[in-house]
Every structure is written in C-alpha cells, then in structure tokens.
C-alpha cells in the first residue's frame, strides 16, 4: 500500500519535472535546428555558441567580470531594500507623511531608472559607487511603494489587540507591522530583483572596465559574435538562478502566508 503511494509520488514528481523542462528543451531544440545551417555572422549556430562557451567563461572571467557584477547588484539591491523598507514603514505608518510624500513618490517612480545613469554619473563618477547608486535608485521604488501599502493595510483588530496587550514601539514594528506587511514587501522585492539585473547590465554598458554588461558590449564591438551570445546566455542563467534563490527565501519567510491562503481557499 505504502509502496504504491510512494510509487505514485515518484511518478507525480517525474511528471512535474517533465512539465517544467519540456518547453525549455523544446525551445533549445528549435534554436539548435533553426540555426544549424546558419552562415549569418550575427546569427551563429547554437552549436558554435555552446562550443565557444567554456573558452569564454573561464574561472578567471567569472572572477573578473561576473563576480564584480554580482557584488554591485547585491550592494545596490540590499541598500535599496534597507532604504525602501525603512522609508516605506515611516510613510505607511503616518497619514500626514503619506499625504505629503505620495505625489512626489508617484513622480519619481514614473521616471525610467536607466535615464538616471547619465545623471548619477555626473555626481558619482564612473566607479562602483555610480553603478551601485543606479541599481539602488531603480530597485528602491517597488520596495518602497509596496512597503507603504503593506504597512498601512495592517488589520485594525490586530492593531488593537497589540495595543491592548501593551505591544508597542519596536516590538509592535517587529512582531506585528513588518510581519503583517511582509507579503507585500516581498512582492516589491521580487519586482526589484528583475529591475536590479537590468540596471546592473545597463550601468556597465555605459562606463565600465569590467562586469557582464561591459563584457557583452565589448564582444559585440570586437565582432566576437558567438562570444556575445554566450554572454547573453550567462545573463539569462544568472537571472534564473537568482529568482530560484529568491523563491527559496520567500517560501521560508512567507510559509505562514501561503498556508493561510491555502486554508482560506479550502473553507
């Protein structure tokens, strides 16, 4: 009996895995065959791209280009998260502050972050600071606005419960307000992650001496077209990997929220 159940579990897992990889495999196969006979310089066969891959992405290159990119992304993303959540909590907690800030925030959010690259370059030069500032300035908006929404939506009964039990100040912030807003905050963090990756590349394309964006542009300018394509593959894989890591963290922190939603769907 239990053997049968376990067999069913394995089967279900295999089926899920099949569903997950079916489309990627199909797309890669389509790319492979469509490009197989290509003689176009800009559109090399996938075969050529894949054979170039290990030559281009050596340990040295990972250290000199991928690592700096990732570190800048991390620095920008984390500072955006800290600033966004802190400011968002203040704005979300006080109606007056919100009334004053909201129009400005809506305006700033509407400015496309890549436009800020030349502006920030004026102030912060072309070093690490500029790139981190560009990433942070783009990532901060979804985090900030989602935190504001999450914080202001704290349930009134929960708020009163906390007050009646003397849970105030830092304890209230930590155990009630931020936890209650965490699903919204994570929605903002998720949006910010994809914005951060885009800005990481863009900031390196304008003025840089290393990094993924710099490398890809460099390959393109020197007509190393298959190498350029491998760079795009690396970026795609990187984005995918970061999103998997994000999901793992989210599942851990918001486990209660998914459980709560599933239980209210059942009833």
Partner 1 sequence: MDGLLSVSGLRKVYEGSGRRVEAIRDLTFTVDAGELVCLVGPSGCGKTTLLKCMAGLLTPTSGEVLLEGRPVSGPPPGMAVVFQEYGRSLFPWMRVRENVELPLKQKPLTKERRRELVADALDSVGLGDAAGAYPWQLSGGMQQRVAIARALAYEPDVLLMDEPFAAVDAQTRADLEDLVRGLWRDRGITILFVTHDIDEAVYLGERVLVLSASPTVVQEQLKVDLPAERDQLRTRVAPRFAELRTHVYEQIQAAKRGVAGA
Q: Name the site residues for partner 1 (rule: CB under 8 A).
A: 155, 157-158, 160-161, 163-168, 171, 175-176, 179-180, 182, 256-257, 259-260, 263-264
- Closest by CA to 133, choosing from 72, 65, 68, 205, is 72
Nearer to partner 1, 3 or 169 (CB): 169
* Minimum CB distance to partner 1, residue 14 (Å): 30
- Residue 149 burial (CB < 10 Å; 0-12/13-18/19+)? middle
Nearer to partner 1, 39 or 264 (CB): 264
* DSSP state string for 113-130: GGGHHHHHHHHHTTSHHH
Nearer to partner 1, 55 or 155 (CB): 155
* Minimum CB distance to partner 1, residue 245 (Å): 22
Nearer to partner 1, 189 or 202 (CB): 189
Nearer to partner 1, 182 or 184 (CB): 182
Residue 37: HSE in the Cβ half-sphere, 13 Å Cα cutoff: 0
* Minimum CB distance to partner 1, residue 232 (Å): 40
Nearer to partner 1, 131 or 179 (CB): 179
Separation CA 79–CA 253 (nearest Å): 20
* Minimum CB distance to partner 1, residue 175 (Å): 6
Q: At 23, list the tokens.
A: 């489309």
SS3 264: helix
* Alpha-carbon distance values, 258 to 157, 195, 253 (Å): 21, 25, 10
Separation CA 199–CA 57 (nearest Å): 22
Residue environment code for 219-255, b if the CB has 16+ CB neighbours within 10 A, otherwise e: bbeeeebbbbbbbeebbeebeeebeeeeeeebeeebe
* Minimum CB distance to partner 1, residue 266 (Å): 10
* Minimum CB distance to partner 1, residue 55 (Å): 50
């Amino acid at each position: 009996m239990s053997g049968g159940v376990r067999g069913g579990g394995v089967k279900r897992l295999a089926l899920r895995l099949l569903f997950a990889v079916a489309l990627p495999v199909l797309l890669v196969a389509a790319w492979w065959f469509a490009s197989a006979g290509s003689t176009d310089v800009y559109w090399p066969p996938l075969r050529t791209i894949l054979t170039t891959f290990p030559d281009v992405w050596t340990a040295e290159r990972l250290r000199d280009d991928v690592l700096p990119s990732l570190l800048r992304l991390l620095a920008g993303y984390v500072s955006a998260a800290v600033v966004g959540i802190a400011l968002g909590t203040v704005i979300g907690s006080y109606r007056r502050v919100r009334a004053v800030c909201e129009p400005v925030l809506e305006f700033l959010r509407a400015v496309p972050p890549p436009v800020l690259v030349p502006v920030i370059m004026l102030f912060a030069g072309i070093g690490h600071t500029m790139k981190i500032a560009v990433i942070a300035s783009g990532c901060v908006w979804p985090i900030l606005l989602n935190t504001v929404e999450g914080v202001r939506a704290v349930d009134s009964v929960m708020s009163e419960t906390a007050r009646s039990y003397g849970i105030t100040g830092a304890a209230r912030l930590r155990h009630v307000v931020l936890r209650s807003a965490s699903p919204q905050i994570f929605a903002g963090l998720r949006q910010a992650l994809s914005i951060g990756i885009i800005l990481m590349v863009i900031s390196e394309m304008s003025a840089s001496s290393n990094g993924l964006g710099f490398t890809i542009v460099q390959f393109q300018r020197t007509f190393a077209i298959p190498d350029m394509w491998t760079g795009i593959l690396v970026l795609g894989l990187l984005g995918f990997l970061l999103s998997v890591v994000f999901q793992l963290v989210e599942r851990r922190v918001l486990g209660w929220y998914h459980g709560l939603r599933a239980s209210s769907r059942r009833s």
